Amino acid sequence: MHAAKPVTTLNVARGTCRTWRAARGGWLIVRACAWRAWVTVEGDPADYWLAPGEALLLAHGERVRIGGWNEDVCCEWRALDAVPRVPLALLVPSMPSVPLAPLRGTH
């Protein structure tokens, strides 16, 4: 059995959607699009519209559909073990006051 790559690039062509499953927990990060990428997680009633640089945390095995609004989209998935670990004390002062994407499971 092959280990999942720690970083995977996901390109979605204009006018299409792509279904993808997280082989393990990690972050889905929007890298390039003119406006926002549409992301929906199977079993989650919410849709997420992410701008470049915004991210959504995915659990092991979660399936997502990714698309753009009449544009190409490029996303990157980073396994949790590929994300640099930073002490929480260093993150708190620079964290935005409003989450970039709502936390799932809290509504």
CATH number of the domain that residue 65 is part of: 2.60.120.10
**Position 57 in a domain:** yes
Question: What mean pLDDT, rounded, does the chain reach?
Answer: 78
Question: What's the sign of the alpha-carbon dihedral 84, 95, 39, 106?
Answer: positive
Specify whether the CB–CB gap between 64 and 42 falls below 8 A. yes
Distance CA(97)–CA(40), nearest Å, equals 24
**Position 100 in a domain:** no
**Position 94 in a domain:** no
**Position 106 in a domain:** no
Tell me what pLDDT residue 94 has: 42
Distance CA(62)–CA(85), nearest Å, equals 23
Model confidence at 4: pLDDT above 70:
no
**Position 68 in a domain:** yes
Number of domains making up the chain: 1
**Position 16 in a domain:** yes
Model confidence at 58: pLDDT above 80:
yes
Spatial strand order in the sheet of 55-58: 7-12, 73-79, 26-32, 55-58
Looking at residue 86, its amino acid is V
**Position 67 in a domain:** yes
Banded model confidence at residue 92, pLDDT cuts 50, 70, 90: very low
pTM for the full predicted model: 0.68
